[in-house]
Amino acid sequence: MSHDPLFCPLRLGQLSLQNRIVMPPMTRSRAAQPGDVATDLMATYYAQRAGAGLIVSEGTQISPTAKGYAWTPGIYSPEQVAGWRKVTDAVHAKGGAIFAQLWHVGRVTHPDNIGGAQPVSASALRAEGVRVFVDKDNTPGFVETVTPRALSVAEIAEVVNEYRQAARNAIEAGFDGIELHGANGYLINQFLDSESNARTDQYGGSLQNRLRFLREVVEAVGGEIGMERVGVRLAPLTTLNGTVDADPEQTYTAAARLLGELGVVYLHIAEADWDDAPVMRGEFKQALREVYPGTLIYAGKYDAARARTAIAEGWADMVAFGRPFVANPDLPERIRHDLPWAPHDPATLFGGDAKGLTDYPKADGSAA
């Protein structure tokens, strides 16, 4: 289907992508312990899905204190860089492209996940009612977050440098670029949204001040690896992990304009996708298109028909399919040939072994 909008090639920075289908970041909690190192099993998982135009890795913590959940991978140690090199080599061998999602969870963690330290955030405001996964003394389970402490200005500069080093590490590990996780209530989001940022210094208060941390991180990683290798994920209407903004359309249109001015290669918008979630208005999407000139990716319960419409109407350039990629390693071919999508097993999403990770077959029943 050469006329299919999802299968028109796309230039993304220095990359020539084979289609407009994105495998977005999805936490799978299977990193090797101790050390939070990507494994051979993870390399197989990503390589099976290399038919996507672009893969974005699961969230990958930039430092030991950036970690929010047990068994998630990092990218700050030599062992972690070597583990991720196995993944990128496997994806590239299949002709795929892969970005690393760089992740600092801020307050969305617990001391048990970060060596007993107190979590940090834009402000000393707890993520009320939010639970995170820990593995203390080989007893995994969910616990509620604690009250974080506000980062000092000097500490903010240190975190920005952690992002810079993580971006350098990602390129050393063979990634084609990086995506900054600015969505779903994690650290960048905690600075950005008005109700999670109570600061009165240059990082809080006005919208321009709340955008400052995002700007500084983007400038740091772009200066390190080139803006043509930097994407950013935002979630304007989500209330996940306790972050809420008083005027999300104003805030996120301004963020998109800033990212366009800085020259990041793509903006990845995660739409709220639970059953009674707020709907992202078409006018809002058009506003983002007007202020951001780069590649726009959308994610959030898209099927093939909605994805084709989004691209044909011009407000999206690529579309990400999250959980469909879990059980359909050959999802692009299923879309191309209008084949059924297999359902995933929710019980195997987080943690475990190959079951529910690499054992899903192709549409014809053969092994992926």
**Which position among 186, 252, 298, 360 bears the catalytic label?**
186
Residue 45 falls in the annotated catalytic set: no
Per-residue three-class SS string for the chain: CCCCHHHCCEEECCEEECCCEEECCCCCCCCECCCCECCHHHHHHHHHCCCCCEEEEEEEECCHHHCCCCCCCECCCHHHHHHHHHHHHHHHHCCCCEEEEEECCCCCCCHHHCCCCCCEECCCCCCCCCEEEEEECCEEEEEECCCCEECCHHHHHHHHHHHHHHHHHHHHCCCCEEEEECCCCCHHHHHHCHHHCCCCCCCCCCHHHHCHHHHHHHHHHHHHHCHHHEEEEECCCCCHHHCCCCCHHHHHHHHHHHHHHHCCCEEEEECCCCCCCCCCCHHHHHHHHHHCCCEEEEECCCCHHHHHHHHHHCCCCEEECCCHHHHCCCHHHHHHCCCCCCCCCHHHCCCCCCCCCCCCCCCCCCCC
- What is the set of active-site residues? 186
